[in-house]
Amino acid sequence: KAVKATVESAAARAAELLAEREAPPVPGSPGSGTPSLAEPTKPRGPLPPKPDQAGPDRRTATGAPTDAPAEAVSGQGPFLTTSQGARLRDSDHSLKAGERGPTLLQDHHLREKITHFDHERIPERVVHARGAGAHGTFIGYGNARSVTKAGFLAKGVETPVFVRFSTVLGSRGSADTVRDTRGFATKFYTDQGTFDLVGNNIPVFFIQDGIKFPDVIHAGKPHPDREIPQAQSAHDTFWDFVSLHTEAQHHTLWNMSDRGIPRSYRTMEGFGVHTFRCVNSDGETSLVKFHWKPVLGVHSLTWEEAQLLAGTDPDFHRRDLYDAIEAGAFPQWELGVQVLPDTPDELFAGIDLLDPTKLVPEELAPVQAIGLLTLTHNPTNFFAETEQVAYHVGNLVPGIDVTNDPLLQARLFSYIDTQLTRLGGPNFHQIPINRPHAPVNDMLRDGFHQDAVHGGVAPYKPNSLDGGCPFFAGGAKDGAFVDIPAHVADAVKIRANPASYDDHYSQARQFWLSMTPVEKEHIVAAYTFELAKCFEQSVKERQLLALANIDSDLCAQVAAGLGLPAPKPSEPLVDLDPSPALSQLGDVWPTDGRMIGIIVDPDGDLSGLDAVRAAVSAAGMVPLVVAPYGGKLPDGTTIQRTFAATRSVEYDAVLVAGSPAPGADALVVRDSKAGEEGAPLLDPRVALLLQECFRHAKAIGAWGAGIDALEVAGVAADAPGVLGGDDPEAVFAGVHTALGAHRVWERFGTVLS
Q: Which active-site residues does the annotation give?
A: 128, 200
Q: Could you tell me what percentage of the chain is helix, strand and coil, using 3-state DSSP and rounding each to the nearest 5?
A: 30, 15, 50
Helix (H, G, I), strand (E, B) or coil at 739: helix
Cβ at position 128, least distance to ligand HDD in Å: 3
276 forms part of the interface with ligand HDD (CB under 6 A): no
Q: With CB under 6 A as the contact rule, which of the stretches 64-72, 193-201, 610-618, 713-721 interacts with ligand HDD? A: 193-201
Instruction: Examine residue 429 and tell whether it contacts ligand HDD (CB under 6 A).
Output: no
Instruction: Return the number of the residue (410 or 688) whose C-beta is nearest ligand HDD.
Output: 410
Nearest to 296 by CA among 332, 346, 271, 320: 332
The site for ligand HDD, by CB under 6 A, has a size of: 26
Task: Go through the chain and tell me how many residues it has.
Answer: 753
Instruction: Tally DSSP H helices, then E strands, for the chain.
Output: 18, 22
- CA-to-CA dists, residue 426 to 341, 388, 391, 432, angstroms: 38, 13, 14, 14
Interacting residue with ligand HDD among 139, 153, 161, 198 (CB under 6 A): 198
> Per-residue x/- mask for ligand HDD, residues 122 to 151, rule CB under 6 A?
---xxxx--x--------------------
The number of beta carbons lying within 10 Å of the beta carbon of residue 406 is 19
Which C-beta is closer to ligand HDD: that of 205 or that of 303? 205
Does 292 bind ligand HDD (CB under 6 A)? Our answer is: no
Determine phi and psi for 685, rounding to 5 degrees.
-70, -35
Contact status: 260 vs ligand HDD (CB under 6 A): no
Q: Which residues contact 117 (CB under 8 A, 6 or more apart)?
A: none
Nearer to ligand HDD, 210 or 597 (CB): 210
Distance CA 42, CA 645 (A): 35
Toward ligand HDD, which CB reaches closer, 159 or 434? 434
- Candidates 205, 511, 512, 703: give the one binding ligand HDD (CB under 6 A): 205
Give the separation between CA 476 and CA 165, rounded to whole angstroms.
Answer: 34
Specify which residues 50 forms β-bridges with: 53
Residue 153 and residue 143: Cα distance in Å, rounded? 8
Q: Check residue 743 for interaction with ligand HDD (CB under 6 A).
A: no
Q: Which region, left, alpha or beta, applies to residue 259 given φ > 0 means left and ψ of -120 to 50 means alpha?
A: alpha
Q: Is there binding between residue 399 and ligand HDD (CB under 6 A)?
A: no
337 vs 554, beta carbon nearer ligand HDD: 337
Q: Does 221 bind ligand HDD (CB under 6 A)?
A: no
Shortest Å, Cβ 107 to ligand HDD = 38
Contact between 203 and ligand HDD by CB under 6 A: the answer reads no
| 220 touches ligand HDD by CB under 6 A | no
Residue of minimal Cβ distance to ligand HDD: 183
Phi-psi region of 704 (alpha: psi -120 to 50; beta: other; left: phi over 0): left
Residue of 259, 276, 328 whose CA lies nearest to 18: 328
Q: Give least dist CB 209 to ligand HDD, A.
A: 8
The upper half-sphere exposure of residue 85, i.e. CA atoms within 13 Å in the direction of its Cβ, equals 5
CB of 204 to ligand HDD, least distance (A): 8
Rounded Cα–Cα distance for residues 298 and 295 (Å) = 9
Choices 40-48, 196-204, 261-269, 370-378 (CB under 6 A): range interacting with ligand HDD: 196-204
Residue closer to ligand HDD by CB (options 201, 307) is 201
CB of 144 closer than 8 Å to CB of 132: no
Residue-wise DSSP of 601-621: -TTS--TTHHHHHHHHHHTT-
Supply the minimum distance, in Å, between the C-beta of residue 654 and ligand HDD. Answer: 34
Does 270 interact with ligand HDD (rule: CB under 6 A)? Answer: no
Is there binding between residue 194 and ligand HDD (CB under 6 A)? no
Selected from 169, 185, 633, 668, the binder of ligand HDD by CB under 6 A is: 185
Partners of 653 in the β-ladder? 596, 699
By CB under 6 A, residue 170 contacts ligand HDD:
no
Q: Which of 144, 153, 169, 273 is close enough to bind ligand HDD by CB under 6 A?
A: 273
Per CB under 6 A, residues contacting ligand HDD are 125-128, 131, 164, 166, 183, 185, 198-200, 205, 210, 213, 273, 356, 389-391, 407, 410-411, 414-415, 418
